[in-house]
Amino acid sequence: MATIIATTRPLPLPEMELAGRQVRFVHAEAGAVPDGAVALLSTAVDPVDAALISTLPDSVGLIANLGVGYDNIDLAAAAARGLLVSNTPVVTEDTADLAFALILAACRRVGQGERFLRAGKWNETGTPPLGTRVHGAKLGIIGFGAIGQAVARRASGFGMTVLYHNRSRKPVQANALSARYCKDLAELLAAADIVSIHAPLTEETRHLIDADALAACKPGAVLVNTARGPLVDEDALIAALETGHIAAAGLDVFSEEPSFPEALLAMEQVVLTPHIGSATAQCRTDMVQRGIANIAQFLETGTIRDMVPLGRE
């Protein structure tokens, strides 16, 4: 008899054996997880809410999430059902690559310049749009976990001054990266030329960057978000972009994905990407392998390598 693993969406997974048994992956359409399934393999963009968790058969003991973030899962509901939850913390370098790509693209108006060329305006006017210097700038990093630190490492190659704001000070990591701690978010925002967001999404951090935070930013600052869309009040950001207080933005995440504010489409100074922080062939392979490894360990020992704490929603 095969081991059944339900998935929240169709995934190109190879045939395999786990714990000596053949595995059958079953797409749980409309959340219908079949009886006998031992785990739910979800992606970070698929909601695993209390309603879905309440319908899981008793055979399910693990929600294995493909992604380092897990705000798509109702952790309180999972805890109430006695479920374990795992994630895949293997996206650090790829996400940091994208964050820095957006820093460069937003500051140097790469998208706008390409559209300028494609529209034939180079021949007409010969004056492409001017951007903002990146090398030597002050980079403010909000959230100094693995990804934030990886962005700081990249910043060192550009001779940037790195500031960071985090729930707690990280002196060892900060010293290694020559980063200065800002206890107050407003202090970082007032000083940074470029702000890059890498905080987790919690009820406390939702709309962390709101109208007041944007007003506290240095005039002409550039904002980049590769973390989670709801960390930023999108209406407030649009207003700040319209006035020019925020000069440009690079956004990979949005509050209501896959939907996003139509107003952003008309803004030449904004670079938009469709949540592709981990979207390299190598990273996606690493994520699947890590997710499957968590399931295999769960089946063999009842434990998982990448345990998500269930005590915090």
Look-up of token digits 């995934």: 11
242 catalytic residue (yes or no): no
| Active-site position among 257, 268, 300, 313 | 257
User: By the 8 A CB rule, do 166 and 193 touch?
Assistant: no
257 catalytic residue (yes or no): yes
Residue 312 has pLDDT above 80, yes or no: no
Q: How remote is the C-alpha of 299 from its chain's centroid?
A: 29
User: By the 8 A CB rule, do 47 and 68 touch?
Assistant: no
262 catalytic residue (yes or no): no
Mean pLDDT to the nearest integer, 161-186: 98
Nearest to 106 by CA among 222, 237, 258: 222
| Active-site position among 109, 165, 198, 228 | 228
Mean pLDDT to the nearest integer, 48-63: 97
Q: What is the pTM of this model?
A: 0.93
**For 25, how many CA atoms within 13 A lie in the half-sphere containing its CB?**
18
pLDDT tens-digit map of 248-264: 999 999 999 999 999 99
Q: How far apart are CA 40 and CA 18, in angstroms?
A: 15
pLDDT band at 228 (very low <50, low <70, confident <90, very high): very high
Q: What are phi and psi of 210, to 5 degrees?
A: -110, -170
Instruction: Give the DSSP per-residue string, 39-87.
Output: EEEEETTS-B-HHHHHHS-TT--EEEEESS--TTB-HHHHHHTT-EEE-
pLDDT > 90: percent of the chain? 91
pLDDT band at 311 (very low <50, low <70, confident <90, very high): low
